[in-house]
Amino acid sequence: MKGTVNPFEPWRPIESRIPPPLHAGRPWRPPPPPPKRPAVEAAPFVEPVKPSRRSKAPVAPKRAQGQTRMPVPKSFSQWMAFIVLCVLGIFCMDSVGWYRTSHIPRLAVLGISAGVLAGMAFSRRRSWYTRLRWMAAALALAGIALWFVPTTHGVTLWSAYGRIEELRNLPAGDVADYRQGEEARKTLVREFPFFAADVRGAEQTWLRRTVEKAIEKSDRQLDKDPDAALTYLHQLDQELSRMEHYALVRKDMESARRRAVQSCLKVAQQP
């Protein structure tokens, strides 16, 4: 064995003390030392850090006495519910002021839908999906109340629009159907005052169409049978004179009757 052996630990070899061979071409330059192996450093011991408690949110300063502020909802659903409730409240107040007690069934259903909407919007115990479904159902119930729930006199918003459209499509000269629906139109205007302009416009349009058709028919009969034309105009004038908007067509009827009378005189003067 090369080198000296430790007598106390003969089983453990020692490093060789024989110098390394020199380079033949460069004997004056010693060989480089052998590379040292990097020592493995032990990881430092780190004590676990206990999580600190969250600090409470700063409390807002109290407002002065006499100054009140309504709590404003922060989430999107609460904002939507707040806006919808404001709109429904305005509509209900407007309904109470204009329609009085005849719209109590409609207002009751609107109040129920508003209560369901508010309860679901501000409820924290249910999931957002359940709350959204109940809010959609409340809005659907409010829409049904506005359109299909009748008043105490049996008039709904849907039937009101249908009555106006029926009057606009009424054939000219159909006096019997016009007189038959006159009472229903008065009830409609009394229950929904904002339809008064539409009903008045539809009645005036029908009256003008009727008079124009009657004058055109009588003018075609003047050459053949002026007596029949005069009789037809006289009967129509008696029926229309009891209507509300007769003043709009009075001059046209008088002119047509005058022409019919002149035609009758011409026929009577002929030999």
3-state SS record for the chain: CCCCCCCCCCCCCCCCCCCCCCCCCCCCCCCCCCCCCCCCCCCCCCCCCCCCCCCCCCCCCCCCCCCCCCCCCCCHHHHHHHHHHHHHHHHHHHHHHHHHHHHHHHHHHHHHHHHHHHHHHCCCCCCHHHHHHHHHHHHHHHHHHHHHCCCCCCCCHHHHHHHHHHHHCCCCCCHHHHHHCHHHHHHHHHHCHHHHHHHHHHHHHHHHHHHHHHHHHHHHHCCCCHHHHHHHHHHHHHHHCCCCCHHHCHHHHHHHHHHHHHHHHHHHHCC
Q: In angstroms, how far apart are the furthest CA atoms of the chain?
A: 175
**Using CA atoms, how far apart are residues 249 and 172, in angstroms rounded to an integer?**
14
Q: Which pLDDT does position 27 carry in this prediction?
A: 67
Residue 42, number of CB atoms within 10 A of its CB: 6
Instruction: Give the integer Cα–Cα distance in Å for 132 and 126.
Output: 10
- pLDDT at residue 159, as a whole number: 92
Q: Tokens 């129920």 label which residue?
A: 112
| Per-residue CA distances from 187 to 29, 100, 156, 165, 183 (Å) | 124, 14, 11, 16, 6
- For 47, phi then psi, to 5°, come to -75, 140
Let me know: does 267 contact 229? Beta carbons within 8 Å: no
pLDDT given for residue 70 in this prediction: 47
The pair of three-digit structure tokens given for residue 213, joined into one six-digit string: 């058709």
CA neighbours closer than 13 Å in the CB half-sphere of residue 178 = 24
Identify the pLDDT of residue 26: 67
**CA gap 171, 176 in Å, rounded:** 11
What are the tokens at 111?
């109040």
Q: Which of 117, 67, 68, 124 is nearest to 89 (CA)?
A: 117
- pLDDT attached to residue 208: 94
Whole-structure pTM value: 0.60
Mean pLDDT in runs of 10 for the chain (271 residues)? 63 59 67 64 61 59 52 56 66 53 77 77 75 83 86 89 93 91 91 91 94 91 87 91 90 91 83 65
